[in-house]
Amino acid sequence: MENRKKQLTRYQLVTWIIGILSLFLCLSLYVRFNKDAILEKLYPPVPEPVSTPDAEEKKGRWTNELPDDLTSRSSILVYVNEAHPLPADYAPDDLTEINIPSTGAAIVLREEAGKKAQEMLKAAKEDDIDLYLTAGYRSYKNQEELYASYVSLLGEARASALVEKGGCSEHQTGLSIDITNDSSGAQLNEEFAETDAYKWMSENAYKYGYILRFPKGKKHITGLSFQPWHYRYVGTKTAKKMHKKEKNITFEEYFGIYVEE
Ligand SMILES: [Zn+2]
């Protein structure tokens, strides 16, 4: 009886050991084959604009002679990118904190752009479209930090197609907003382009002076991939004229900065 008990205990012990070893084996195999997914869960990436490459690239040329309206920093038409950067110490002098739906962080914009953004989101709400901002004005330093975080996540090549270096972003002008809604999971990605909220923006943003700054298939002109979330304030007069000329015409095409050849 005693022997049988001992045998049973030994048998149980061996079963336990085999069980635990199999569990470890399964676990290590799971980790091995799902490493990326696990790492992503443990260290979720910062909300990352994901863009597909623009298929069509036409040939054209840029002009360097810009009208005064586009080079004056205080103008609502100021043109900013890598070829036309802003100095590190530049900040607009009428920056105002805007009371507007957002992902939490305070949204700061130039006064006129902020007022119009408020009107726009109010009108959207009246049409049952819930939109909120994830970003407005960004300082040179914040832009540098953002760019560095993208580079460390995605490498230089992908990062530079998605986000600008310090001084090269329109967010430093206080005239640009990043906008999204819940159905795209509050992430800045191309899924937003499939939402009713994006459709509403496409049909109405220009009435409030905002234009889609980086439309689809225009990377060869704007320098950046499709960003359905990024809108730029250019004033209602200009936005309406642009919309009338061609829906989603780029800033560069409208002002003759880029000419197709
Ligand atoms: Zn943006």
144-157: pLDDT as tens digits = 999 999 999 999 98
DSSP bridge pairs for 210: 233
pLDDT value of position 205? 98
How far apart CA 47 and CA 37 sit, in angstroms, is 16
DSSP bridge pairs for 204: none
Mean local confidence (pLDDT), 195-219: 96
Question: For residue 171, how far is its CA from the centre of ligand 1 (angstroms)?
Answer: 6
Question: For residue 122, how far is its CA from the centre of ligand 1 (angstroms)?
Answer: 21
**SS3 for 234?**
coil
Residue type, 95: L
How far apart CA 170 and CA 147 sit, in angstroms, is 14
Confidence of residue 182 (pLDDT cuts 50, 70, 90): confident
DSSP bridge pairs for 211: 232
Return the sign of the alpha-carbon dihedral for residues 189, 194, 200, 201. Answer: positive
Neighbours of 35 (CB within 10 A): 10
For 24-38, 77-91, 100-114, which range has the lowest pLDDT when averaged over its residues? 24-38
C-alpha distances out from residue 51 to 55, 114, 179, Å = 12, 27, 16
Question: For residue 135, how far is its CA from the centre of ligand 1 (angstroms)?
Answer: 7
pLDDT value of position 8? 62
Q: What is the pTM of this model?
A: 0.77
pLDDT value of position 252? 95
pLDDT value of position 39? 42
Question: For residue 128, how far is its CA from the centre of ligand 1 (angstroms)?
Answer: 24
Question: For residue 16, how far is its CA from the centre of ligand 1 (angstroms)?
Answer: 56
Residue type, 180: T
